[in-house]
Amino acid sequence: MRRSVVATLFFVALLAAWQAMVISGRWSPVLLPEPASVAAYLWGAAADGSLFEATSVTLRRLFVGYAIGVAIGLPLGLLSSTSYFVEDTVGVLALGLQTLPSVCWIPLALLWFGQSEGAMLFVVIMGTVWSVIIATDAGARTIPPVYARAARTMGSEGFHKWTRVILPASLPFLISGMKQGWAFAWRSLMAAEIYVTILTGFGLGHLLHYGRELHAMDQVLGIMLVIVVIGLLADKALFAPWERFLHRRWGTGVKSG
């Protein structure tokens, strides 16, 4: 209870500081609109449905790209943790490409796929897959070998061993890998939506982009706020249940001191 009061007070203070800056009159309202006008924009965009439309377009792209990225990255990461061949080939490739900011994929994607959904999907997958491979690989390497030995003596091998021992044993690292992948996918998609002008559906990134073109700072700030809130909610909805399970089973996540 006390902690939520502290959090609430913090954000109220942040809003108050913003409002005070507007009242001071030092900045033009075109550059710094007051909180109420951002709220008014969001209310209007929500009322005419354009906000929900953009959000659902963006989330659809995000889920599809992320799912493909994880589906490719997870098995490759696990393989790279056990096989020198995969480690020395795909592993090295992943290490290199992971350092490439995903926005750098956009020129290539535009030339290959044009102004299309395909270009957007490609950028999201490229943003996700490498970091998932690396996180999964790093995680699977730290599994105590005694788990696999114990499982072997009880007759677990092959597919059973992978699905019932290796995969659950690396769960803590898979979750953090998938979380990292999610963050990367989200960033890549926003970059893609800002740069890829497309007619098949306006996402949040497009609204942000047009906010700038129209000098509508209330729209820019409003959409940024929505993007932040979606990121937070996704974390809570997708990963928090898994993390709670991990903490309960493994006995981790207790703050000391």
Residue 153 in contact with other proteins, rule: CB under 8 A: yes
Near other proteins by CB under 8 A: residue from 146, 159, 200, 255 = 146
Residue 176 in contact with other proteins, rule: CB under 8 A: no
| DSSP string over the chain | -HHHHHHHHHHHHHHHHHHHHHHHT-S-TTTS--HHHHHHHHHHHHHTSHHHHHHHHHHHHHHHHHHHHHHHHHHHHHHHHH-HHHIIIIIHHHHHHHTS-GGGGHHHHHHHH-SSHHHHHHHHHHHHHHHHHHHHHHHHHTS-HHHHHHHHHTT--HHHHIIIIIHHHTHHHHHHHHHHHHHHHHHHHHHHHHH---SS---HHHHHHHHHHTT-HHHHHHHHHHHHHHHHHHIIIIIHHHHHHHHHHH---PPP-
Q: Which residues of 219-251 are buried (b: 16+ CB within 10 A; e: fewer)?
A: bbbbbeebbeebeeebeeeebeeebeebeeeee
Residue 160 in contact with other proteins, rule: CB under 8 A: yes
Residue 210 in contact with other proteins, rule: CB under 8 A: no
Nearest to 184 by CA among 124, 135, 112, 232: 124
Residue 117's CB: how many other CB atoms inside 10 A? 16
Residue 155 in contact with other proteins, rule: CB under 8 A: yes
Site for other proteins in 99-138 (CB under 8 A): none
Residue 165 in contact with other proteins, rule: CB under 8 A: yes
The token pair at 100 is 């490439």
Residue 156 in contact with other proteins, rule: CB under 8 A: yes
Near other proteins by CB under 8 A: residue from 171, 194, 216, 238 = 171
Segment interacting with other proteins (CB under 8 A) among 61-69, 110-118, 184-192, 244-252: 244-252
Near other proteins by CB under 8 A: residue from 59, 103, 151, 225 = 151
Least distance CB 168 / other proteins (angstroms): 4
Least distance CB 86 / other proteins (angstroms): 23
- Nearer to other proteins by Cβ, of 120 and 166: the residue is 166
Least distance CB 13 / other proteins (angstroms): 39
Near other proteins by CB under 8 A: residue from 18, 63, 147, 210 = 147
Residue 244 in contact with other proteins, rule: CB under 8 A: no
- Nearer to other proteins by Cβ, of 43 and 245: the residue is 245
- Nearer to other proteins by Cβ, of 60 and 249: the residue is 249
Residue 256 in contact with other proteins, rule: CB under 8 A: no
- Nearer to other proteins by Cβ, of 48 and 157: the residue is 157
Give me the residues that bind other proteins (CB under 8 A), please. 144, 146-147, 149-156, 160, 164-165, 168-169, 171, 248-251
